[in-house]
Amino acid sequence: MKYWTTGQAAAELGLSVRTIRYYDQIHLVTPSFKEAGGRRLYSEADMLRMEKISLLKSLSLPLSDIESLLDELSIRQILEAHQKWLESKMSDLQQSMHNTTSLLHLHELEGAICWDTLLPLVKSDQPGPKQWQTYFNEQELEVLNARLPKLESNDEVTRGWVALITRIEDCIRSGALPQSSEGKAIAEEVDRLSELTFAGDTALMNKFWEIRKEPASAAQGLVPVRQEVIQFIEECLTPLEGVNNRDEA
């Protein structure tokens, strides 16, 4: 039987290592085998379960709903639901094509387009972004609003995160690797600041981190962080996966 390490499963499924670890932590997908050294190995059934989760997430279902549906729905039922979602997206795209074609014809006929004609058609093609706050309940938002870093603040957490992001940007510019000694120091600082920010609530931390990796539209109102910085942090936090994979080679 074939098994995948966390890093291999992440690469195969297009997920982050942190996401897979979060699934394990909340018992959504528990690896079928754990070695004495702590390395987790995922079976084909585990991989299929994570793929089912990815398909259900594409339908904008929260993890709490996915957990209750996961064992009730077959992979065929999930694929059929995903197909309907894709058909809906295709319909939206087709409508956008019609709108754009109308604008092109209008421009051809009149040689210009007034803003009050253009605006309604353009706006209809752009669904409003789902703000990051909508993913959390009131209790979680109360904690996050009180503890998340704010650019206008001068508290220890904000200063720490700003300094850390600056260090990471320097690493990216200089070509320093996440597996370097500086990368290891950054990983330790991420853990320290995360502990301060989320007061030890690991589940909330992981949930927030997943939202933090969403496109900028979903992260409006948060301290701006480039995707390259987030990716660097992810790689800093998973150096052992690289070591394990090299051992298997």
My answer on whether 248 and 142 are in the same domain is yes
My answer on whether 61 and 145 are in the same domain is no
Whether 129 is in a domain gets the answer no
My answer on whether 57 and 79 are in the same domain is no
Residues 135, 141: Cα–Cα separation, whole Å: 9
User: Of the candidates 36, 51, 73, which is a domain's last residue?
Assistant: 73
Q: What is the largest CA-CA distance in the chain?
A: 74
User: Of the candidates 91, 124, 157, which is a domain's last residue?
Assistant: 124
pLDDT at 20: 92
Whether 177 is in a domain gets the answer yes
My answer on whether 138 and 249 are in the same domain is yes
My answer on whether 86 and 61 are in the same domain is no
Among 12-21, 28-37, 119-128, 138-147, the range scoring the smallest mean pLDDT is 119-128
My answer on whether 68 and 79 are in the same domain is no
Find, among 16, 20, 40, the residue nearest to 29 by Cα.
20
Supply the CATH number for residue 8's domain: 1.10.1660.10
pTM: 0.46
Tokens of 108: 């051809």
Number of domains present in the structure of the chain: 3
pLDDT at 211: 72
My answer on whether 66 and 84 are in the same domain is no
My answer on whether 149 and 220 are in the same domain is yes
Task: Calculate the average pLDDT of the chain.
Answer: 77
Q: For residue 8, what are the domain limits?
A: 1-73
131 or 85, greater pLDDT: 85
Whether 105 is in a domain gets the answer yes
My answer on whether 82 and 68 are in the same domain is no
